[in-house]
Structure 1
Amino acid sequence: MRKKRTKKVLPADSDDDPDPPSAYQRDHAPDEEGWSRCLEDLSFRSFRGKNHGPTFKRKKTPLEYFFKFFPLVLFISMVKWTNLKLRASRQQLTSLQELKAWFGIHILMGLVKINNCKDYWSSHPGLRNTLISTTMKRNRFDILSQHLACNRPEDDPELIRDKAHRYLSKRTKPLYPLQPLWDKVRRRCLKNYNPGRELAIDEAMIKYRGFKSSVRKFFMPLKLIRAGFKIYAIAESATGFFLNFMIHPHGEKPAKMVDIAMDVAKQHLGKYHHIFTDKLYTSVSLARLLHSKRTYLTGAVKSNSKGLPHDFSPKQNKLKRMNKTARGTFYTRQNGQLTATVWKDSRVMMLLSTAHQGWKDPVTHTLNRKCTDEATGRLKAKVIPAPPQAVDYTRCMGGVDRGDQLRSYHTCARKSQYWWRGILFFLIDVARVNAWLAFKHHHPITTNDSSSSSDEDKEKQNVPQTTKKTTHSQFVLQLANGLIDGFARGDTPRQVVGSCPVPAHNAAGHFSTKMPGRYARYCRVCRKRNVTTKSGKPKTTRRGCPVCGVSLCPGECFQLYHQATAPPADSSTATSTE
């Protein structure tokens, strides 16, 4: 039998796992960029943010929380702009209640997902959604979807005849179809929430496969969403609350990640926030610029980035040796407030920080990993040492990803021919998620161990009673019901048609439905009563009773036919009555 090849693990260098500075440490000359192995004790300022949480008072219903981030003024403006397009197309005008119900149906569709939108109005009980079908007719829903306007339609750049002028207008105003909504929701997210100290900057994707958008589309084959719009967002690391977001900017020159990161985080500077970024944004220039604005930065950085230590370059022997060292090996270099760390996990990772010391605590600075056991060859849980930069980075970097996860649970996004409709659904989902996080902050779940005591004793002792937990799906359902708010102008259920339902003893097992066949047939009751149309022809219908095999008009004809054909009453019952 062949012997298993065991990987040779090289011993770490002498500067692995550096100790805190002391009077007996050796002096090492700094390199050309000013990085040195000699570590110094750094000082950090405390966080100066305001009270963490929503800035508004506690509300009662999920709809009130949603209106704090997607205000009612936007619905009123959309009704005015949509009516301009409906009037031009000679369609029935809409109202505030109807448009709110349209948005409520979309939120409800995100909770109960069906691939084909038309199936929500299906006659099959397994597909039909009673709340959606009784709220609005499918034809009316499609008309509102076609004519929905989120900005002034008369100033749309698409109406400009000159191609050059139209192209320049689209470049200067790429978000014109929904610019008021974008600005209002973004300002409300910044105003109505005070975040904690740890923030994360990352990109969020909006799926789009077309080629007619004014906003630049990105194609990334290795991502989950391969094609779409890129949104740069800053979110709270602990909860995933979206604080600020911006779309990829248009310009003659390519956008620099330093400028994008500063634009996204400019409302949260000067309070000693701790921002976490990934390789796309992190650089020495960004770290120094944020530190000058009294903001700390920690992030993974590319090994070929400018300004890093010379011995951490990919061409040097130290990084080549790290691929063969044990997991947990790390080296640190310091340049003023900056610390650069190279750490060996499953792969070699380089981190840059202005908020950490260059050494680690052997007790707290560890991470749990699954490593291959040399004896059995199986994965085994193991605790490996890690620098403090890596510990905080793995804990706080997923703020935007956590918000995207909450946004994807009950998203209202659906396919559309309009490119800006995906960004509209993104704004609705962001407002919904932020409203849910604010609702959880104001309605914490309190439990009481003294379950044997009565409610009166709890009130006398001022002991908090147990409150029922509201889940995310229940919150979305209550939000959809609040937007619909009793608006019912849709179809009645298919089995109960007409103003008067058929009694059960007269039509047990009978129901009105569409009859098979290509053409309409004469109604049995209308033919006997000589009911004709305005042109004098006999009245026809496509509906009937499949149990009896008779074509009948829904409503009065259906009821009269089954009352006439009902079995006679029981003789014993008739005798006792007499």
Structure 2
Amino acid sequence: MAHEEALQAATDSEEECTFSSEEDDFDDDHLDFEECFDSAEDTISKECENDIDQMPPAKKAKTMSWKAETDVDRIPKTLRFLPAREPGPQLSPADAHSPMSLFKMFFTESAMSNLCHNTNAQAARAIATGHKYKWTDVSVDELYRYIGLIFYMAAVKMSSIADYWRQDSLFSLPFPTTVMSRDRYRTISWNVHISHPDADKKNDRKRGTAEHDRLFRIKPLMDTIRLACKSFYHPRQKLAVNERLVACRANTGMTRCTKVKPTKLGFKFFVLSDSSNGYTVDFSVYTGKNSFPADRGLSYDAVMSLLDRKVLGSGYHVYMDDFYTSPKLLTDLFAMKFGACGTYRDHRKDFPKPVANSLTKNSTRGSIRWIRDGPLVCVKWVDTQVVSVCSTIHAAYTGERVQKRVKAQDTWKTKSFPCPAPVSAYNKHMGSVDLSDQLLQYYAAQHKTMKWYRKVFLHFLDIAATNAFILHKELYGNMNHSQFMEELIAELCGVSEKTAPKQTSTDHVPVPGAELTSDVRRIATVGRRICVHCKAVRGKKQQTPWKCQACDVHLCLQLDRNCFQEWHKSL
């Protein structure tokens, strides 16, 4: 019941909150701040300060100059942290939550039932169009076993799918055969479908119009997982926004990202994660210029689409990289009671560009320059290169220092340098981006497919399994990632984790019961033992030189008495 209430609450808040605007990314209006602090001394009159506030941006930039670390900065107004719910898992540790039960919160029974229905419909359509393979309708239990095999293949790497079912190799694996046959796994992979194929046709006919939905083929499952991500966990104060690329060479009919990794094509996901543990709080898929309704520019709209104040609450601190950071975004977030911090690109509009007291290429390492404009402070710091960070959370410099290794006279030494507060915080809390990506990559369920929506389906599996592991760790903390995935795979495939998989029939072969002797007179008698089948079934003590290699029991193998075959029929 608590799960249903959480899901309904998240649904209601999603329906209420929307963003709309008509401005472009680099055509933002001049920033309007509640306060303005000029670079001059405090003796400047109120009238002069008001005049500076009313200056055009270009003229105002000329009146500003960079300050050094010796100048005292005013910390902006502290935003009170008021989360909509108690941060952490929205589940009781007293209840029993196995890895599979947590995974099923993201891939629910109803979602899997819908997935089975659409997969069966796709298979029927494929057979009707001439595909020749055997097909029986897939059930929910079988589809869970199929997902279990996908995770097994992510944990146990082989060069091809067929290798998991090979039995003539030194590296043969007995487990996949006990779950399903190779051909069954392949036919499910070919036909797994998130949306109904008939509905796909109707949507495809709208291509080129405003009614066409580019994410139609993944939307049913995507909406379910996004809702579950937000419902069963509430993030702590520090959040991070980042991009995630899912490589795919399939023909999608959509704009794909090639800028980050020119050698790969794929989908760009915008992801909001909890900085404390890497939990994926929310995500969106980039489909082109019209991905977001606000239309203020991709970087602005991507962040705003992930931050829902009704769902999250207020007082959160959001960290981002230079792709997203702009004065307009940070000040609008501050007005929504979200603090923000991120690296920025100097050439972007409305960032300060005065030359007075600016850093140069000859500036010493550790040099700091900053300019404050209302709640926004822009800081430059010389490390191995100049780093530019802006923030509505921190003061420019609070006396922090960092240890860096420097080379002096052909020897490396550790030296202490001053470090701006926004830089220290950014390095600390953007680490969740790497953590989140690492957790996903450890057991990534990605393999080759020519259908883009199946590639996204596999990424949804990664998100669900990783978030389920983080929930389990937060609740109990008694499993590492490897142990969690091992138990999840066992539960999904319907086997016991602690028992060895059933041995395949190819292991049950007759072998001599003892080493052969060179004395030809004793070959027929050496190693003869009582046949266990004759003793158990016939009540006779018949001796035989043969035994089963896998079972390690002696069995008759005669033309008129094949105990070897009879014994294995009962296994």
TM-score, with normalisation over the residues of structure 1? 0.72
Q: 2:253 aligns with which of 198, 204, 214?
A: 214
- Aligned equivalents of 1:408, 1:139: Cα separation in 2: 27
Q: CA deviation at 1:21?
A: 12
User: Are positions 1:45 and 2:87 aligned together?
Assistant: no
Residue 426 (structure 2) pairs with residue 393 (structure 1): yes
Partner of 1:240: 278
Paired position in structure 1 for 2:448: 415
Cα distance change of structure 1 residues 191 and 215 upon mapping to structure 2, 3 Å threshold: farther
The 3-state SS of whatever aligns with 1:114 is: coil
Structure 1 pair 305/85, CA: closer, same or farther in 2 (3 Å)? closer
**Alignment partner for residue 86 of structure 1, among 99, 104, 123?**
123
> For 1:375, which of 409, 415, 435 is the aligned residue?
409
**Structure 1 residue 355 and structure 2 residue 393: aligned?**
yes
Deviation of the 1:329 alpha carbon: 0.7
User: How far did residue 275 of structure 1 move?
Assistant: 0.3
What is the CA distance between 1:317 and its match in structure 2? 6.7
Q: Any idea what the Cα deviations from partners look like across 1:539-577, whole Å, max 9, x if unmatched?
A: xxxxxxxxx9xxxxxxxxx955697899xxxxxxxxxxx
- Could you tell me which runs of 5 or more consecutive residues in structure 2 were left unpaired when the two chains were aligned: 1-36, 53-58, 128-133, 517-545, 547-555, 565-571
Cα deviation for residue 508 of structure 1 reads 8.7
Partner SS for 1:412: coil
AA partner of residue 330 (structure 2): A
Is the partner of 1:479 in helix, strand or coil?
helix
Within 5 A, what are the aligned runs for 1:453-468? Answer: none
In 2, distance between residues paired with 1:295 and 1:175?
30
Q: 1:52 to 1:62 in 2, by over 3 A?
A: same
The corresponding residue for 2:332 is 289
Q: Secondary structure at the match of 1:276?
A: strand
Q: What is the DSSP-based 3-state SS (H/G/I as helix, E as strand, rest coil) of the residue aligned with 2:218?
A: helix
Residue 504 of structure 2 aligns to which amino acid in structure 1?
A: P
Task: Choose which of 288, 297, 303 in structure 2 pairs with 1:261.
Answer: 303
In the other structure, the counterpart of 2:463 is 430
CA-to-partner distance for each residue in 1:299-334, whole Å, 9 max, x for gaps? 1111112222231xxxx3754x43212211101111
Cα 1:138/1:481, change in 2 over 3 Å: same
Q: Which residue of 1 aligns with 2:34?
A: none
2:416 aligned counterpart, secondary structure: strand
- Deviations along 1:475-519, whole A, 9 cap, x unmatched? 1111111111149xx9972524xxxx566557999xxxxxxxxxx
1:336 equivalent to 2:378? Answer no
2:321 aligned partner: 278
Separation (CA, whole Å) in 2 of partners of 1:330 and 1:85: 61
Match of 1:105 in 2: 149
Q: 1:159: how far off? A: 8.6
Query: Is 1:231 aligned to 2:269, yes or no?
Result: yes
Residue number in structure 1 paired with 2:383: 345
Letter of the aligned partner of 2:391 in structure 1?
A: S
Alignment CA distance shift 1:318-1:209 (3 Å): farther
Q: Find the residue that maps to 2:187 and give its secondary structure.
A: helix
SS at match of 2:331: helix
Residue 177, structure 1, aligned to residue 220, structure 2: no
Secondary structure in 1 matching 2:92: coil
Q: Are 1:32 and 2:60 matched, yes or no?
A: yes
Note closer, same or farther for the CA distance 1:176–1:222 as it changes in structure 2 (3 Å cut).
closer
Q: Deviation at 1:413? A: 0.8
Question: What is the rounded CA distance, in whole Å, between the counterparts of 1:128 and 1:168 in structure 2?
Answer: 52
Deviations 1:53-86 (A, max 9, x none): 1112233311011112222221111112222233
- Corresponding residue number in structure 2 for 1:481: 490
Kept after mapping to 2: 8 A contact 1:233/1:244: yes
Match of 1:199 among 239, 248, 261: 239
Using the alignment, how far apart are the partners of 2:328 and 2:261 within structure 1?
A: 28
Q: Report the CA distance between 1:400 and its aligned residue.
A: 2.6
| Equivalent residues, number | 455
Q: Percent identity?
A: 22
Q: Which amino acid aligns with 1:201?
A: V
Unmatched segments (≥5 aa) in structure 1: 1-19, 445-468, 510-547, 549-557, 567-578
Alignment check: 8 A CA contact 2:244 2:271 kept = yes
Could you tell me how far 1:182 is from its partner in structure 2?
A: 0.5
Counterpart amino acid of residue 418 in structure 1: K
1:176 Cα deviation after fit: 1.9
Cα shift at 1:112 = 0.5
Measured at CA, do residues 63 and 123 of structure 1 come closer, stay the same or move farther in structure 2, by a change above 3 Å? same
Partner of 2:350: 307
Q: Per the alignment, do residues 126 and 48 of structure 1 end up closer, same or farther by CA in structure 2, a change over 3 Å counting?
A: farther
Residues 366, 384 of structure 1: 8 Å contact kept? yes
| Structure 1 contact 249–255 (Cα < 8 Å) conserved | no
Q: How far apart, in 1, do the equivalents of 2:445 and 2:43 lie?
A: 61
Change (3 A) 1:559 1:368: farther
Cα 1:98–1:564, aligned 2, differ >3 Å: closer, same or farther?
closer
Is the CA contact (8 Å cut-off) linking 2:268 and 2:286 kept in structure 1? yes
Tell me which residue corresponds to 1:450: none
Q: In structure 2, what is the Cα distance between the partners aligned to 1:479 and 1:136? A: 17
Does 2:172 correspond to 1:128? yes
CA spacing shift, 1:157–1:168, aligned 2, 3 Å:
farther
Tell me the C-alpha RMSD between the 2 structures.
Answer: 3.4
Cα gap change, 1:442 to 1:201, in 2 (>3 Å): same
Displacement after TM superposition at 1:156 (Å): 1.2
Deviation at 1:132, TM superposition (A): 0.9
Write the letter of the residue equivalent to 1:266. D
Report the residue type matching 2:429 in the other structure. Answer: C
What is the TM-score normalised by the length of structure 2? 0.72
The answer to whether the 8 Å contact 1:121/1:132 transfers is: yes
Structure 1 Cα separation of the partners of residues 280 and 563 of structure 2 = 65
Contact 2:97 2:472 in 1 (8 A): no
- Residues 382 and 26 of structure 1: CA distance in aligned 2, closer, same or farther (over 3 Å): farther
CA distance in 2, matches of 1:421, 1:338: 43
